[in-house]
Chain A
Amino acid sequence: MPQFTSGRVLRDALRGQAGRITGSALLSTGHQAGEAMVPVVIGLVVDRAVGTGSSSELLAWLAVLGAVFVTLSFSFRFGARLGERAAEQAGHLLRVRLTDRVLDAHGGADTGRLPGTLASVATSDAGRVGMVALALPLGIAGILGLVVGAVALLRVSLPLGLLVLLGTPLMMGLAHLLGRPLQRRSEVEQDRIAHTAGLAADMVGGLRVLKGIGAERAAAERYRLSSRAALTATVHAARAKSWHDGTLLAVNGLFLAIVALVGGRLAADGDISVGALIAAVGMAQYLIGPLSMLVWVNGELAQGRGSAVRIAEVLSSPPAVGGGAPLPGPVTGRLTVRGLTHGGLRDLDLDVPAGQLVGVVAADPAHAEALVDLLGREREPDSGAITLDGHDLSTLDPEAVRGALLVAAHDADLFEGTLRDNVLSPAADALPLPQQRTGDTTAPPSPTSSPEQPPTAASNTSPAAELLATALAASGADEVAATLPGGVDGVLAERGRSLSGGQRQRVALARALAADAPVLVLHEPTTAVDAVTELRIVHGVRRLREGRTTIVITTSPALLAAADTVHFVADGALTASGTHEQLVREHTGYRTTVLA
């Protein structure tokens, strides 16, 4: 994987939006200049028109005011749009790039990172780096706005100009200092408030559980106490913020008084005009705008840099597995494991002949998971090798391996979408025509070809539909389809949460079967399924996978009883092999693991 620095992430993001950023900077400068000109023009109107009573001057200066408004309005409108577009688009491109890295066949980006953390990098952090594309032009405009204001003021009066230019940042710094302890206190209170905000949703989320044990009253009381504590905290926080705001207001007012004092005395002495005095007062107010904007820009840049660091880390994650050689086909499905050591497995040897249904029982579930990770090319083994048809998996392109050897993990996720889209891969529509599959007598006569069978699955005879129906029937997911409004076109909620655990498991199994891989590894596929359905699944899988290699890593007796051979792994090494019946009879450790 290429190495990324935070600097490169930022540079790339900004370079991609260079045109928009430049445009936005120019227009935002126009806007700032316009805002700065408004008090100046007000001063000029008073000076040249109101003071003199000249109608033509009035009309002329009002026309100037109109021109200023047109400039500031249009430049704001289009400058803001360009800047926002630059920010949004830069964030979007980073988001897509991060997702692409996470999904890379060699993995590694999601190693040791929680999905929530990664998702937040792809949303908040990508957004923050994007925001730099908005902050940058505004920062440029802010600085130019200050310069314009400064030039205008200094031309009016050198001492007054210097007072305003030096005094405004000084005043803001003072207000910030005065407000800081209050601000800090309010941040501490924020925690309590956030806690209560989450608590209501948390309790409602667990409503079923609360009601199950009759804990509604206790929960309501707990919430009331938390809500009261949050109330005290929010009132404290609000008081702190109110005094902060009040202080800011007072300091600002005092500064204005000083400007009025100095400007007034200069005007009274005839050093400057009345219009200049008004302009200076207006400018003292205006400068707060670009200055606080620069403070904001500075904060955004700092956050953007921090976010760029996190993004660079994800993009530079070392791959979890290597290999890139193509897998020579066709795959017969002979799998061997030699001296495999990883995550508790110690020198594990296994032989899986092509076309057999093999059960693997691990006394320790962690060892089963280690094996599943290795077979799925999620990790490289510490030592030893897995070979498929004699090719070491570690040397092969992981994408090609997964095409030939599909690992259906126990915790595999379903996705939001129709049942059909979950089960069939997007490539399923490109399947060969039906006549090429007519020898397919392995498809079981669907035991539920009752009127309950959704018509969409039965009436459509495309190869994809046939594959779907077969996989659904073999996994017992046809019953899931029957309970869904819309059958196979019924929509599952995100991560399949609208289904029960047992239903999800069956749909995931159907998906694994529908992939039609030469070698299929199933990890605990029936833990959440009732005994009746499990038995049906055992028969279905056995029939559907006839003649193709299938490895079931499980402790379920019903599944193991259907296997041609069962391997028992204890203490990380192969301990016994035989049929389920033999092992149950002869091996105490096996019996304890499977039947206890």
Chain B
Amino acid sequence: MTEQRELLPIATGRQTVAALRALLRPRRWLAAAGLLVLTAATGIGLAVAPLLGHVVDLVTTGAPASAITTPVVALAVVAVLSGAATAWGLTLIARLGEGALAELRERFLNRALRLPLGQVERAGSGDLTSRAGNDLNAVASVVRSGLPELARSLLAIFLTLAGLAVLDWRFMAAALLAAPVQLYTVWWYGGRALPLYARQRVAVGAQQQQLLETIGGAPTVRALRRREQHLGLVTGRSQDAVDLTMRGVNLVTRFYARLNLAEFIGLSAVLATGFLLVRSGEVSIGAATAAALYFHNLFTPVNIALGLIDDVQSATAALVRIVGVADLPEPAAPPAPRTPADASLHADAVSHSYTADRPVLHEVTIAVPAGQRVALVGASGAGKSTLAGLVAGVHEPTSGSIRVGGVGIGDLDPAGRRAVALITQEVYVFAGTLAEDLRLARPDATDDELTAALEQVGAAEWAAALPEGLTTVVGEGGHRLTAAQAQQLALARLVLADPAVAVLDEATAEAGSAGARVLEASVVAALRGRTGLLVAHRLTQAALADRVVVLDEGRIVESGSHDELRETPDGRYAELWRAWSGRRDADRTA
């Protein structure tokens, strides 16, 4: 399908700020307490330099050795207090950040899961996935490690400047001489780092993906003798990643070189100021020492705070993409939701086109009485999957109507039991236990009901043979299920969801022929008592249906029972069946 890409929305600055406010408002007291405690912790810590300065003063004024004890005890008290207060403050900040983060990710996922599938597909599958993966992680890592570090560093910087000012305002003025260089450095670095790191992440991702593709496809590469080609691809992508990483390293080292210059300017200025102030008798040598130590202690927090700026920037870029989805307006519910009268399915004169100039379906009309099964047969591109998607409500037809039990698809009660379920050839096993996977379809199902559903689709045997039965962890990182098992799992979910109408789009296609036969039995079992619309790629499936509909280029060209169509002279279905069943009159071209 050659549809136009249309990315999911990205929040504006104002929306993002509003969303952050909404997250922080219920936590404002926690925020205030956290900030207060951390400020206190940093403030207490600042007593260290003047206390050391006091020791210096005592020594230079020739005080007895015993006089040292008092400031030293104070130093010990300061150490314990600032340690405890820091721990407490960081805990409060973590509760604040983690709580807000949890609320944000829950709001995001809740909204993401209810996006119309058509919209997700138009955006490309990667858009939503990368927001749920990379973007959430980027924000989480800044909230988790960046935020507390940043808070501490900024507090340390501001309070140290204040401490310098308390010693003598001229010390602070001297220290601030470093600021222009630092600000310029941040501006210089920020403009270069973000695009470079974005490119580096892309290159590292491309390298990773190339390795997975080449190594995962090693048997194919060997069979086709494409070793040189793939070795070249891996080498090229790996070298690209290395080169971009090195450009990043060069940038960072230049960043720190500039900050070193700022350190030197500030430190010299503070020392020179101390020299002048001591000479004019305005401050003691101890105060000058304290000022120098203050400034020396600023090196680390300044480096941390400035180094975090690009993390914060990329987290912001991720945040606007998360808020963009989380804050989407809720879809309008049908004004008067209705419940289907029965399990019948009607498609009336349904036409559809994804793009205006390429209609895929033309005036297709199909009526499936409750409990019957209709198989759709036709070449790829005939419109089978489109029709299946329309019936399942994935897309809205361009014209015509689709009704289940007399109720239009759009008027079905969204809160009620799912009337139409769709299973495609896309197999997916959710990470978690087998039971958790099944309970997605019916959260309140008992273990017995789960086992019964598995039994109905012929999956009970292998499920029982799993290392820990229903509680075996499956999916990504867990026990690997075969394609056929995964599809049986999908059918068991269908049984549990228990919809009136089931649409199966080539639900046995990925399992290979041998697996397909087993799956066909599972499909029949899962459809028992339901109205079924099946896109069949194996004619044995079609043969089991009550009626077969042959589609060609978006139109119904044949419709009837398997036996009727099989006997139709020159019929399309009859030709397919001949080839399939191996009758000699299938036109051999040897």
Contact = CB atoms under 8 A, between A and B. Distances in A.
A88 B271 contact: no
Nearest to A255: B79
A493 to B, nearest CB: 9
Contacts of B213: 413, 415-416, 494-495
B117 A208 contact: yes
Interface string A94-106: 0110011011110
Interface string A198-215: 111111111111111111
B160 interface: no
B349 interface: no
A46 B285 contact: yes
Interface stretch (B19-27, B68-76, B178-186, B562-570): B68-76
B582 interface: yes
A588 B275 CA distance: 106
Secondary structure of the B side of the interface? helix
Interface stretch (A64-72, A295-303, A380-388): A64-72
B94 interface: yes
A84 B249 contact: yes
Nearest to B145: A241
A202 B431 contact: yes
Contacts of A58: 271-272, 275
A51 interface: yes
A530 B378 contact: yes
Interface string B183-218: 000000000000000000000000111111111111
A413 B98 contact: no
Interface stretch (B130-138, B167-175, B455-463): B130-138
A48 to B, nearest CB: 10
B356 interface: no
Contacts of B98: 231, 234-235, 238
Which of B82, B212, B223, B229 gathers the greatest number of chain A CB atoms within 10 Å? B223
Contacts of A84: 245-246, 249
B144 interface: yes
Interface string A512-549: 00010000000010011111111100110011000000
A203 B430 contact: yes
B215 A110 contact: yes
A260 B55 contact: yes
B153 to A, nearest CB: 13
Contact of B430 (A105, A206, A245, A282): A206
A80 B516 contact: no
Contacts of A216: 113-114
Range of interface residues on B (Cβ < 8 Å): 35 or more
Interface string B245-283: 110011011101100110110011001101100110000
B94 A213 contact: no
A259 to B, nearest CB: 10
Interface string A54-81: 0100100010011001001110111011
Nearest to A532: B379
Contacts of B211: 95, 99, 119, 122-123
A587 interface: no
A329 interface: no
A202 B71 contact: no
A210 B120 CA distance: 13
B271 A45 contact: yes
A99 B230 contact: yes
B58 A254 contact: no
Contact of A558 (B88, B253, B580): B580
Contact of B271 (A42, A234, A263, A532): A42
A265 interface: yes
A277 B289 CA distance: 11
Which of A224, A234, A241 gathers the greatest number of chain B CB atoms within 10 Å? A234
B221 interface: yes
B493 A213 contact: yes
B319 to A, nearest CB: 15
A92 B238 contact: yes
Contacts of B214: 99, 102-103
Given A213-B499, A531-B377, A581-B582, A249 B86 contact: yes
A473 interface: no
Given A103-B222, A595-B581, A238 B90 contact: yes
Contacts of B71: 260, 264
A470 interface: no
Contacts of A145: none
Contacts of B224: 402, 406, 425, 511, 515
A328 interface: no
Contacts of B99: 231, 235
B1 interface: yes
A287 interface: no
B554 to A, nearest CB: 14
B428 to A, nearest CB: 4
Contacts of B384: 530
B538 A531 contact: yes
A365 B517 CA distance: 12
Contacts of A254: 76, 79-80
Given A77-B256, A209-B426, A214-B499, A115 B215 contact: yes
Contacts of A103: 214, 218, 221-222, 227, 230-231
Contacts of A488: none
A260 B68 contact: yes
Interface stretch (B309-317, B333-341, B363-371, B435-443): B435-443
Contacts of A122: 211, 215
A31 to B, nearest CB: 10
B301 to A, nearest CB: 13
A260 B54 CA distance: 11
Contacts of B72: 257-258, 260-261, 264
Contacts of A253: 45, 48, 75-76, 78-80, 82-83
Contacts of B115: 207
A218 interface: yes
Contacts of B476: 198, 202
A206 B220 contact: no
Contacts of B379: 479, 530, 532-533
B59 A267 contact: yes
Contacts of B513: 365, 524, 527, 554-556
Contact of A561 (B90, B536, B586): B586
B2 A485 contact: yes
Contacts of A426: 226, 228-229
Contact of A257 (B76, B272, B432, B582): B76
Contacts of A197: 136-137, 140
Contacts of A494: 209, 212-213
Interface in B108-152: 108-110, 112-115, 117, 120, 128-129, 131-133, 136-137, 140, 144, 148
B185 to A, nearest CB: 13
A102 B428 contact: no
Contact of A529 (B475, B537, B586): B537
B582 A261 contact: no
A484 B208 CA distance: 26
Interface string B404-437: 0000000000000110011111101011100010
Contacts of B128: 204, 207
A119 B509 CA distance: 29
Given A409-B219, A581-B582, 20 more contacts: A65-B264, A80-B249, A81-B250, A116-B216, A196-B105, A197-B136, A198-B431, A208-B426, A211-B394, A213-B422, A223-B109, A235-B94, A247-B87, A274-B56, A365-B515, A413-B217, A530-B380, A532-B377, A535-B579, A561-B582
24 contacts: A42-B292, A46-B292, A50-B288, A58-B272, A65-B264, A96-B235, A99-B234, A100-B231, A199-B431, A213-B497, A222-B436, A227-B105, A235-B95, A239-B91, A274-B59, A365-B514, A485-B2, A502-B509, A530-B537, A532-B576, A557-B582, A561-B588, A580-B582, A594-B582
Which 6 pairs of residues, A with B, have the shortest CB-CB distance?
A: A253-B79, A250-B83, A246-B87, A214-B418, A238-B94, A413-B217
